[in-house]
Amino acid sequence: MQFLKFSGNVQNSLFLENDENVAAKIIAERFNISDDEYIDFAAFMSDTLYKVENKSHLLFISSNKLVPKGVHFIERKNLHGKITFLYVRSVGLYLFLYNGEQELWFNGNILLNRHLYIFTHDSVIGSENVPKIYYSELIGAFSSARDDVERIVLEAKEVEFNFRNSTNGIHH
């Protein structure tokens, strides 16, 4: 298969060359992506993002603030190009594609244009001119509008504290 090959010099990378539909089917089978999410995944792989039904599973990182309604966004002013993420909820994966010619680094390796990557909890993307993008920032951007994320609320009642040798502190 010429259109889909593992890149030997880049970890967690697949190169998409010709037939993204065939590649999408193969990858969806390997990752056990649900049938419900396959349409979004195939649209993501073929870069026809307008076909993605669940826009809240998309996130763009770019310097251009123009994004479709419902798509999450992280701004990086010096980024010349676009990084597009797809959250595949059924398997808990964050996949991304980079479209651009700027030299960006992903976990110490150069990001290659039109390669599919998996963004894991220890991942980071950046360059000398582009501030780093960490997993925590990505998760925060995705979860800000998700209603399936449990919220933790801490409430303190009748807390009192005084600093040593002072009347300063927390009082009723």
Residues 149-164: tens digit of each pLDDT: 566 778 888 888 888 9
Number of Cβ within 10 Å of residue 118's Cβ equals 15
Domain that holds residue 90: 4-170
CB burial of residue 132 (10 Å; 0-12, 13-18, 19+) = exposed
| pLDDT score at 63 | 92
Count of the separate structural domains present in the chain: 1
What region does 165 belong to: left with phi over 0, alpha with psi -120 to 50, or beta?
Answer: left
Rounded to 10°, the helix 20-30/35-45 angle is 140
Note if the pTM is more than 0.85: no
Query: CA–CA separation, 22 vs 39, rounded Å?
Result: 13
Of residues 3 and 141, the one with the higher pLDDT is 141
Q: Among 41-50, 96-105, 108-117, whose mean pLDDT is lowest?
A: 41-50
- Residues above pLDDT 70, as percent of the chain: 83
Tell me the backbone φ, ψ of residue 57, rounded to 5 degrees. -95, 5
pLDDT over 50 at 22, yes or no = yes
Q: In 79-166, which residue ranges form alpha helices assigned H by DSSP?
A: 135-143
